[in-house]
Each structure stands twice: as C-alpha cells, then as structure tokens.
C-alpha cells in the first residue's frame, strides 16, 4: 500500500508588515497569488496524496491543476496548524509537511529531500547556515556572536503526523515554528539544504526580491535526452504514444516508450531538474506498465513551475525495425497534442545504425531527443 504524504499550507495570517491592504498571501507575485505558488508546487508532486490549506474564504476554490481542501485558521499560527492537522484523516505514521504560504519558492528537490529524511529522522527542515556577522548591542557597545552551528531554518518542516499532533498539543499556544514543539522531546532533526528561494515574504521590499529570485532568465535553455530499451516477447512497441505492430515489444518497468522517455529527460535536463529516474524510479510499483505520457506531461509542468515553456522538440528513433516512417506523423501529432504544442514545433525522425551495434542486431530500440525551453511571459 502506498504511504500517505500530506501537506499543510498555513495561509491564515494577516501579513500586516507586508504593507498592503490585502494579506501578503493573496497579493500577486509574477502573475500568481503568493499562496498559489506553493499550492501549485505541491499539487504537481506525484508523491503528495493530501493537501490542506488553512485559510479563510479568500482562498477560493482550487484552480486549474490544483488539489486541496480547506481548514479554518485559528487565533495564532500554532492553533491554525492544529486545525489543519485535525482535518487530516490519516494514520499516525503518515508523513506531513507543514509550510508557510509566504514562502513561494518551494520546489520538488526540497520536497523530495524532506520526505526521504523522515525515513531516518523524527523531523526535518530546510536550512541555510548563517553567513553574516552577528552582533549583540547593549548601551552602544557591540559584542560579536559566534555563528558556528547557527542556521536560518525555513519551511516546509516535515514530521510524522501522530508525533507532531502530540507535540503541539503539549506545547505552548504560539511557537516560533513547528520544530520547537518536538525539540523539547529530544527529537532527531535532519536539516536539508535550504534555498534563498525559500525566503519568507515579510516586508514590501521582499516582493521585489522574490520576483527576481523566481523569475526565469531571459535566455532559452536546451536539453538533450537519451533512452534505450531491449526487445522481449510481444506483438507491438509503443513510440511517442503510438502503438506500432511488431514481432517483439520493448522491455521496461513502464510502457517502455523510448521516444517519450528521451524527450522527458531532455525537458528535465533543460530545466536542470534531474532525470526521469529521479522523478519516476523504476523501483516504484506505481509506475509499473504506466503510460509514459504521465512522465512527459509531468516534466512539462515542472519546467513551467520554474518559469519555462517548451518552445520546440526533436526526437530521433534509432532502430532497424519496426519501420517508423509510416507512423511518424501520428507520433508527431500525439506528442504535440499531449504537450499543447503546434505541430510544427514537434519533429520526429528515424534512422538506423547500418547494422552496427545492438540496434543493428535488432536487439532493441534507442532514442535521442532535444528540447528547447523559453521563459514564460
């Protein structure tokens, strides 16, 4: 049975220091409400099963691609967190990530690190070591503070659901953060790599800082992907979402679509988001015989979360058989349809290795792909 991983987004604060009439979580950041940056990131993550946003009615209904339920905020942040936790009908061993809506720069790498850290720790959080000099001041005199071992701790903060419920119930009414509730009990806490992108929006000038951190650069990005699968007994292969009759099938954990696997890696590479195995490991039973369109679409959504759109792509299938040319236009059309691209932005080609190597010996199929990403406007 798949383990449950929940996310609690705390968005009930008033945000008065941000200097606007509306609370900061409802203000716009690069065309999206601040809270939507976090909702979108967690909604896209394939391992996250439950999302609760603690907020008032200003939150509204889920938008396109979003999934969440709402819990009512309390008088303090701690009370809001407890309200959100109460809304999770999950077992005590479920993992839960508690996140401040005012930190819009959450990404999949950080989410993965926190989920993994809970396998060996009681709690986990992203953190940055302090780099500035620290001073205390009293009556005009300064004293230097040793910053060794000091960190800026960010969110999300990760726990087992039962443990954080118990810790908060026994703690004070308004903690500095959720880790403070488990620290007193001697919890083992793992700090994972934090990021400036996870900085909290507190003051008006923070919006400008976050806009610079989250906006993509103006230059296009190019990624290259490669994939290979061996043949096994069967009667067809799937390439770029198209079923092609053949005397064998491709061996793989999913549907072994080498063309779309290569393109998925190209998109992830262009966006510097790792590779297909990082996001969809073959050891995960969820992806057994899965449609590779799931992987390809996910890579597109991840690129868009970093501020990039797919401009064009080029796929080359390498094999002696089956013949790809009769199916090439269908492969282009299927890829363009899935990614929402014009047909002339998708190229599919085929070639052989002139009888050389494993493809020349008809032992399998290889594919290469190139993806060009440009900044979203």
Instruction: Please report, for the domain that includes residue 274, its CATH number.
Output: 3.30.1330.50
Candidates 136, 120, 129; CA nearest to 152 is: 129
Tokens of 57: 């009615």
Q: State the pLDDT at residue 22.
A: 78
Query: Phi/psi at 128 (nearest 5 deg)?
Result: -120, 130
Q: Do residue 112 and residue 178 come from a single domain?
A: yes
**199 and 228 co-located in one domain:** no
Position 323 scores a pLDDT of: 95
Residues 197 and 248 in one domain: no
How many angstroms separate the CA atoms of 241 and 291, rounded? Answer: 8
Q: What is the pLDDT of residue 256?
A: 95
- Rounded to whole angstroms, what are the CA distances from 97 to 81, 85, 112, 179? 11, 10, 11, 11
Judgement on whether residues 58 and 184 belong to the same structural domain of the protein = yes
Residues 127 and 231 in one domain: no
How many domains would you assign to the chain? 2
Query: For the ranges 98-112, 207-221, 360-374, which has the lowest average pLDDT?
Result: 207-221
Among 162, 197, 214, the domain boundary falls at: 214
Q: What is the CATH number of the domain that holds 146?
A: 3.90.550.10
Question: What pLDDT score was predicted for residue 20?
Answer: 60
Residue-wise pLDDT for 205-250, tens only, equals 999 999 989 887 778 999 999 999 999 999 999 999 999 999 999 9
Same domain, 54 and 88: yes
Range of the domain at 362: 221-375
- One domain for residues 174 and 239: no
CB-neighbour burial class of residue 182 (10 A; exposed 0-12, middle 13-18, buried 19+): buried
3-state secondary structure of 49: coil
Both 149 and 233 in one domain: the answer is no
**What is the sign of the dihedral through the CA atoms of 325, 327, 333 and 334?**
negative
What percent of the chain has a predicted confidence (pLDDT) above 70?
97
């Amino acid at each position: 049975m798949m383990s449950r991983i929940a996310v609690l987004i705390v968005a009930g604060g008033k945000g008065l220091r941000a200097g606007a009439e509306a609370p900061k979580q409802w203000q716009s950041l690069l065309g999206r409400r601040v809270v939507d940056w976090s909702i979108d990131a967690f909604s896209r993550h394939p391992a996250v099963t439950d999302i609760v946003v603690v907020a008032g009615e200003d939150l509204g209904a889920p938008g396109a691609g979003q999934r969440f339920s709402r819990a009512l905020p309390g008088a303090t942040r701690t009370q809001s967190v407890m309200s959100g936790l109460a809304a999770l009908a999950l077992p005590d061993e479920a993992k839960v990530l508690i996140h401040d809506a005012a930190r819009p720069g959450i990404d999949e790498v950080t989410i993965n690190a926190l989920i993994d850290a809970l396998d060996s720790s009681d709690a986990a959080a992203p953190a940055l070591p302090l780099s500035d000099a620290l001073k205390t001041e009293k009556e005009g005199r300064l004293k230097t503070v040793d910053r060794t071992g000091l960190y800026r701790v960010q969110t999300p903060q990760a726990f087992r659901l039962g443990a954080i419920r118990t810790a908060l119930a026994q703690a004070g009414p308004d903690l500095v953060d959720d880790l403070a509730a488990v620290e007193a009990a001697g919890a083992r806490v793992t700090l994972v790599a934090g990021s400036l992108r996870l900085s909290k929006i507190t003051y008006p000038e923070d919006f400008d800082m976050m806009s610079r951190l989250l906006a993509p650069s103006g230059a296009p990005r190019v990624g290259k992907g490669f994939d290979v699968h061996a043949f096994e007994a069967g009667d067809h292969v799937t390439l770029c979402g198209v079923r092609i009759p053949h005397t064998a099938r491709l061996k793989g954990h999913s549907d072994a679509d080498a063309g779309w696997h290569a393109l998925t890696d190209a998109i992830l590479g262009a966006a510097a988001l790792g590779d297909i195995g990082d996001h969809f490991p073959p050891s995960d039973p969820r992806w057994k015989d899965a449609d590779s369109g799931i992987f390809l679409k996910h890579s597109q959504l991840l690129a868009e979360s970093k501020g990039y759109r797919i401009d064009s792509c080029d796929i080359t299938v390498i094999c002696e058989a089956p013949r790809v040319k009769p199916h090439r236009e269908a492969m282009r059309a299927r890829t363009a349809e899935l990614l929402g691209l014009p047909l002339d932005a998708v190229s599919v080609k085929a070639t052989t290795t002139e009888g050389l190597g494993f493809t020349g010996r008809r032992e399998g199929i290889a594919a290469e792909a190139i993806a060009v990403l440009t900044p979203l406007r």
